Each structure stands twice: as structure tokens, then as C-alpha cells.
């Protein structure tokens, strides 16, 4: 018998959806609640490294992901000169194994839809536009009151509700989430034929200007600057600012810039970071994904770490026969230092850029590739 019979998952992002799918596949009754009314309505693009693709395959969605995304095996480095000159081409490690691409870009809403459909297919009860208002646990379970005034009792509650986790706050956990000092403009739009991989432009007026193909007809482009308060800008002003910053970058950027016409497809956020020290659980309530650890997207591992949390937690809940301290110790032993290493590396790369230091980026990336090529 598994350690749990029924589980509530809070949040339908990568960590939450993956946990729900893995548990439901194993015969556990799972309720998945999401405060947003439409889980596939928001977002631009996402870059998925091989270890993320490995976990998506374990969820049974690889064929859909492969069809919806855009795979590539090299990253280009370009100069901020009038021609966007390619100065280096880096072979990306196939951390998910030789039979998977090194990297894949895809639209975030499409990935969310694929995971939501898979969750429904395997029997997860999905409730959108819903959150909880109260958690009350005892030695045998957790009583939950929901925002629609319904109630439920669960063996475990999984808080996978992101950076500003309501579950984390409800548990009384004070975790400092700090700005790294960078802000990122992102835009989603059509893919020019010249864009067949991620290219990164270092230098110029911004720290990085890059793009990632997300499908045959789509990409997301991004520009990283000093973190600023851009909240007072109208959507039109945000679009104009991103286009103005992009004027320093050429090559495929000249084509991309011409397609930046829809203000609703531009957004601006800060790079933020935190790591929750052990334990990530309080009794029968556990935090995973961005609720427990988050990093700037400098090495594109945030989504992969969320997926890895999910597979490890689900595996332990299904394979162990008791929800005891040994189970939680095993979970933390497999996840805390691995996640912390990735967060630290992401922050180190960001700091090098902020300080204009020529750090040993190849060695840093090789170390992360070695780490993430091993199963979680």
C-alpha cells in the first residue's frame, strides 16, 4: 500500500501538474486546484533542457511536447555589432539522454494545456478558479476548506503554487525572496526562418538580448536590463521600450523587431531568487517547485527543477508504506542540495553579468550538465 490514498495539489504549474499526474497514474486519488480560471491562458515561452524533457517523457506527454515545441542542440553567441556577428557556437549537453534533444523551446500556454489534458486523462480532479482558505492538520490528515466553501480531507497537501506561494504563507513560513538586480522584457511572436536555436547577445546597452524558437511559427524574445520599476508603464509604452532597447542588436533581431507589434504579448518581470532550508514540509503539507526554490532563468533550469521535485515526491509517496520522517528525510536528501546547486549557479552567472566579470561560464555549465544528466 502507498503512503497516501488521497492528495490535494495546490497550483497547476509544472510542479503541481506533474505531481498530480504521477500520483494519479499510480492509483492515488488527486484533487488539483488552481486559482486562475484558465491554466493555459498566460505566459510567453519556456526553454526546456534535456532533464526537463526526460521528466515530461515520464509523464507520458513527450509525443505532444515534441510536436508542439522546437528542438535544437546548439546555442549561438552573437556580438552586439551592426551585423549580429556569430562569435561562438556551443554544443548543448543532452542531459536527458542521447534519445532526447538537448534543448526544446515551446509556448508556455501549450505546455500547460498538454499537462492539464494529461491530468484529466489519468483521473485527476481539476478545479480551476479555486483555492483554499484554511488548512487544519492532525496526525492522520489535513482538513481543507476551499474558497467555494466546500471542504475535503487529505492524507497530504502539496503546495506547488509558485514564487508567492499562498500555501507557504498559510504555514507561517517566512522566506526572503530577493531581487537579483536584473529585469527581463519578454515578447512572444512569430519565428523568422533565420531563428533555429537560442542565440545570446552579450553587451550593448543591456546585459543580454536573446531569443528561443518555440515552434515552427513562434518564438519568444527577451532583453535583460537593470531591475527597474516599470509598473506605471502602459502596454504601449512597454512595447515601445522593448523595441527601443532592441535597436542595439542585429542579425535575426532586425526581423524580430519588426514583428513586435502587439503590446499584450510583452511583459516585464524581475529576476528573483530564494531557497527554503530543510524541511520543505510542515507535517503533512509540503512545498515544491518555486514555492520552495526559485532562480533567475540564466541557465534555464527552473522548470526542470520543478518537474524533478514532482517525480521524486510522487515516487516516495507511492513506493513508501508510511508517511513518516524517513520519507521526508529521503525527499530532502534527493532534492535540497540539487536544487540549491542549480539556484546558486544561476545566481552566480547573473552576478558575473552584473559585475561585468568574465567568469568561467563553460566550466559552470559543464558542472550543471553533469549534475542534471543524472536522474533526480
- What percent of the chain is predicted at pLDDT more than 90? 92
Cα–Cα distance, 248 to 206 (Å, whole number)? 9
Handedness of CA 258, 264, 268, 269 (dihedral sign): negative
206, part of any domain: no
307, part of any domain: yes
The dihedral over CA atoms of 53, 314, 285, 345, expressed in degrees to the nearest 10, equals -30
For residues 155 and 284, the answer to whether their CB atoms sit within 8 Å is yes
Query: CA nearest 190: which of 209, 216, 222?
Result: 216
296, part of any domain: yes
Q: How many CB atoms lie within 10 A of CB 148?
A: 12
For residues 112 and 39, the answer to whether their CB atoms sit within 8 Å is yes
Q: pLDDT per residue over 215-264, tens digit each?
A: 999 999 999 999 999 999 999 999 999 999 999 999 999 999 999 999 99
For residues 34 and 130, the answer to whether their CB atoms sit within 8 Å is yes
Pull the grid cell for residue 77: 553567441
Residue 356 has pLDDT above 90, yes or no: no
**Structural domain total, the chain:** 1
Q: Give the model's pLDDT for residue 54.
A: 97
Q: Give the model's pLDDT for residue 41.
A: 55
Q: 160-193 burial string, b = 16+ CB within 10 Å, else e? A: bbbbebbbbebbebebeeeebebbbbbbbbebbe
Pull the grid cell for residue 233: 508603464
200, part of any domain: no
As a whole number, mean pLDDT of residues 173-202 equals 96
As a whole number, mean pLDDT of residues 141-155 equals 97
Query: CA nearest 14: which of 206, 213, 300, 248?
Result: 300
Question: pLDDT band at residue 126, thresholds of 50, 70 and 90?
Answer: very high
Cα–Cα distance, 344 to 60 (Å, whole number)? 31
As a whole number, mean pLDDT of residues 207-217 equals 97
54, part of any domain: no
Q: Give the model's pLDDT for residue 42.
A: 60
Question: pLDDT band at residue 40, thresholds of 50, 70 and 90?
Answer: low
173, part of any domain: yes
Question: pLDDT band at residue 361, thresholds of 50, 70 and 90?
Answer: confident
The parent domain of residue 120 ranges over: 6-42+108-177+273-373
Ramachandran quadrant class, 22 (left: phi over 0; alpha: psi -120 to 50; beta: rest): alpha
Q: Are strands 178-189 and 266-275 parallel, antiparallel or unpaired?
A: antiparallel
Q: Give the model's pLDDT for residue 192.
A: 97
Cα–Cα distance, 156 to 284 (Å, whole number)? 5
Burial class (CB in 10 A: 0-12, 13-18, 19+), 114: buried
Q: Which CATH number is 345's domain given?
A: 3.50.50.60
317, part of any domain: yes
Q: pLDDT per residue over 273-324, tens digit each?
A: 999 999 999 999 999 999 999 999 999 999 999 999 999 999 999 999 999 9
299, part of any domain: yes
Q: pLDDT per residue over 91-114, tens digit each?
A: 999 999 999 999 999 999 999 999
Would you give the distance in Å from CA 136 to the centre of its chain?
29
3-state secondary structure string across the chain: CCCCCEEEEECCCHHHHHHHHHHHHCCCEEEEEECCCCCCCCCCEEEEEHHHHHHHHHCCCHHHHHHHCEEECEEEEECCCCCCCEEEEEECCCCCCCCCCCEEEEEHHHHHHHHHHHHHHCCCEEEECCCEEEEEECCCCEEEEECCCCEEEECEEEECCCCCCHHHHHCCCCCCCEEEEEEEEEEEECCCCCCCCEEEEECCCCCEEEEEEEECCEEEEEEEEECCCCCCCCHHHHHHHHHHHHCCCCCHHHHHHHHCCCHHHEEEEEEEEEECCCCCEECCEEECHHHCEECCHHHCCHHHHHHHHHHHHHHHHHHCCCCCHHHHHHHHHHHHHHHHHHHHHHHHHHHHHHHCCCCCHHHHHHHHHHHHHCCC
Residue 90 has pLDDT above 70, yes or no: yes
State residue 138 phi and psi, 5-degree precision.
-130, -165
Q: Which residues pair with 278 in a beta bridge?
A: none
Would you give the distance in Å from CA 111 to the centre of its chain?
11
Amino acid at each position: 500500500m502507498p503512503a497516501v490514498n488521497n492528495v490535494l495539489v495546490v497550483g497547476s504549474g509544472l510542479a503541481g501538474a506533474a505531481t498530480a499526474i504521477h500520483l494519479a497514474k499510480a492509483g492515488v486519488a488527486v484533487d488539483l486546484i488552481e486559482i486562475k480560471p484558465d491554466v493555459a491562458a498566460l505566459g510567453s515561452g519556456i526553454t526546456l533542457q534535456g532533464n526537463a524533457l526526460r521528466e515530461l517523457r515520464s509523464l507520458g506527454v513527450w509525443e505532444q511536447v515534441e510536436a508542439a515545441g522546437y528542438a535544437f542542440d546548439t546555442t549561438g553567441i552573437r556580438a552586439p555589432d551592426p551585423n549580429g556577428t556569430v562569435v561562438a557556437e556551443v554544443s548543448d549537453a543532452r542531459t536527458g539522454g542521447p534519445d532526447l534533444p538537448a534543448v526544446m523551446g515551446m509556448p508556455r500556454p501549450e505546455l500547460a494545456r498538454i499537462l492539464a489534458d494529461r491530468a484529466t486523462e489519468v483521473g485527476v480532479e481539476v478545479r480551476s478558479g479555486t483555492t483554499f482558505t484554511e488548512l487544519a492538520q492532525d496526525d492522520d490528515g489535513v482538513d481543507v476548506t476551499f474558497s467555494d466553501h466546500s471542504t475535503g480531507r487529505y492524507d497530504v497537501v502539496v503546495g506547488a503554487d509558485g514564487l508567492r506561494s499562498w500555501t507557504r504563507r498559510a504555514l507561517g513560513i517566512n522566506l526572503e525572496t530577493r531581487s537579483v538586480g536584473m529585469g527581463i522584457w519578454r515578447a512572444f511572436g512569430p519565428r523568422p526562418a533565420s531563428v533555429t536555436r537560442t542565440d545570446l547577445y552579450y553587451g550593448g546597452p543591456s546585459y543580454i538580448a536573446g531569443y528561443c524558437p518555440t515552434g515552427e511559427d513562434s518564438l519568444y524574445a527577451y532583453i535583460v536590463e537593470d531591475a527597474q520599476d516599470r509598473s506605471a508603464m502602459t502596454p504601449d509604452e512597454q512595447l515601445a521600450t522593448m523595441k527601443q532597447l532592441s535597436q542595439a542588436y542585429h542579425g535575426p533581431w532586425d526581423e524580430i523587431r519588426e514583428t513586435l507589434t502587439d503590446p499584450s504579448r510583452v511583459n516585464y518581470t524581475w529576476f528573483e531568487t530564494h531557497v527554503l532550508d530543510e524541511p520543505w514540509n510542515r507535517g503533512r503539507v509540503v512545498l515544491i517547485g518555486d514555492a520552495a526554490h526559485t532562480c533567475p532563468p540564466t541557465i534555464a533550469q527552473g522548470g526542470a527543477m520543478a518537474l524533478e521535485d514532482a517525480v521524486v515526491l510522487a515516487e516516495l509517496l507511492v513506493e513508501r508504506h508510511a508517511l513518516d520522517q524517513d520519507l521526508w528525510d529521503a525527499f530532502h536528501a534527493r532534492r535540497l542540495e540539487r536544487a540549491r546547486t542549480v539556484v546558486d549557479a544561476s545566481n552566480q552567472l547573473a552576478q558575473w553579468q552584473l559585475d561585468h566579470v568574465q567568469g568561467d561560464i563553460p566550466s559552470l555549465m559543464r558542472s550543471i550538465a553533469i549534475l542534471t544528466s543524472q536522474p533526480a
